[in-house]
Structure 1
């Protein structure tokens, strides 16, 4: 018989329990201890399976991020290729100023290019390095589809955002008289 614990020995000596009852309790405790071992191994297996599932999910997320980054670089390369192929040659001595990245930039253009820029026929896009290029509207739309951040100035797109003056505005500004000798 297995060695009984001190409480069981005292109960046996006092005659409060039978030897068979102590043996039965000892067998039940041994079974309980033996029965707990496999679920503990199952718990470890479940934990390992959960860890593998988490690792697989992280790997999928990293792969999706890598594919998205690769796709973005591919689209930017296509946009740069469109700019190289379709840019309009610039000439002239007239300065055309516009803002890009919070800084006023200048391009030298002639009167024809200036009129086309103002009409929205031509668009200014970011070129190689810090340079800027002129593109026809169709090519600029292709660049915008691939990377909208490369389009710097597009007067054709701005027309939709500009609000025209209303009758209320005209009535308000009518109260301010402009001097006849004012030179703009």
Structure 2
């Protein structure tokens, strides 16, 4: 007569008597649960645990995505700050007031020297909001900044040599070059 698998494993020395008894007891318990219908309760508990695990994994994924987005935004802001700091044109003896309309539609003023004022008024330089202050930067740098963040406030003076309107009543009057408002 053929020996059972358990007897063969015991004879080969792969399993000891304690493990064999433990596995036999677990099998009898499982058979009893199936006969009495309590096995379904274990399956329901397993399903609930699996659903909770999947929900936790999904929440962790979303949290990681939010953290990555925040880190990406922080890196972009650092790049913008570096572009502004390295390309900012400072005016040590700024005695001329340059006025412009700020992001809140209020007139802001910035003290600059004559060379910077001329370049600002011709649209060769731009003014960018840097926190609560403003900085003067070259126009090509503004394109690099706008590629990173389109919402940042950048003021570039419009070219005054634009064509005059046909029905402009003040077209005959010349605006002086040295007019400061």
Give the TM-score normalised by structure 1: 0.61
* 1:63 aligned residue: 64
Spell out, residue by residue over 1:63-119, the C-alpha distance to the aligned partner (whole angstroms, 9 max, x if none): 110111011111111111111111112244221122334132111123432332233
Task: Please tell me whether Structure 1 or Structure 2 has the larger radius of gyration of its CA atoms.
Answer: 1
Aligned length: 138
* 2:127 aligned residue: 124
Q: Structure 1: give runs of 5+ residues left out of the alignment.
A: 1-30
The answer on whether the counterparts of 2:99 and 2:109 sit within 8 Å (CA) in structure 1 is yes
RMSD of the alignment, in Å? Answer: 3.4
Higher helix share: 1
Alignment of 1:3-18 (within 5 A): none
Query: How far apart in 2 are the matches of 1:80 and 1:40?
Result: 60
Give the TM-score normalised by structure 2: 0.61
* 1:110 aligned residue: 113
* 1:16 aligned residue: none
1:79 matched to 2:69? The reply is no
Query: How far apart in 2 are the matches of 1:92 and 1:146?
Result: 30
* 1:42 aligned residue: 43
The answer on whether the counterparts of 1:123 and 1:151 sit within 8 Å (CA) in structure 2 is no
Query: How far apart in 1 are the matches of 2:148 and 2:116?
Result: 25
Spell out, residue by residue over 1:107-159, the C-alpha distance to the aligned partner (whole angstroms, 9 max, x if none): 112343233223322111123x5221111112222222223344331346xx8
Alignment of 1:148-167 (within 5 A): 148-155=150-157
